[in-house]
Amino acid sequence: MEMILEEVKKYEVCKMNLLAYRIQIIGMLSIRIIEETKKTSISNARKYFKRFCEKYPFLQEFEKEVLANFEEYISNKKIAE
């Protein structure tokens, strides 16, 4: 039973690490898009992200979160102005 509990603990740690890496990747991609698109519009962000994913197709799974972050950034920027 102890061996099973040890494996469950290892699994939980791996799951947390994967989540942390996912959050870090989403944040880095979001910042990159904001910088590269000159903070303009969601359509520019989508175009940029699509071109980025052509080079690195595995990043497509992050599209929804990254574009949501960009939309939130644009919304907050408008509120601040």
One-letter amino acid for residue 10 of the chain: K
Give the number of domains in the chain: 1
What's the confidence (pLDDT) of residue 81? 67
For residue range 18-71, what is the model confidence (pLDDT) as tens digits? 888 888 888 888 888 888 877 677 888 888 888 888 888 888 888 888 888 888
pTM equals 0.69
Query: What CA–CA distance (Å, rounded) separates 81 from 76?
Result: 9
User: By residue range, what is the domain housing residue 66?
Assistant: 2-80
Structure tokens at 1: 């039973």
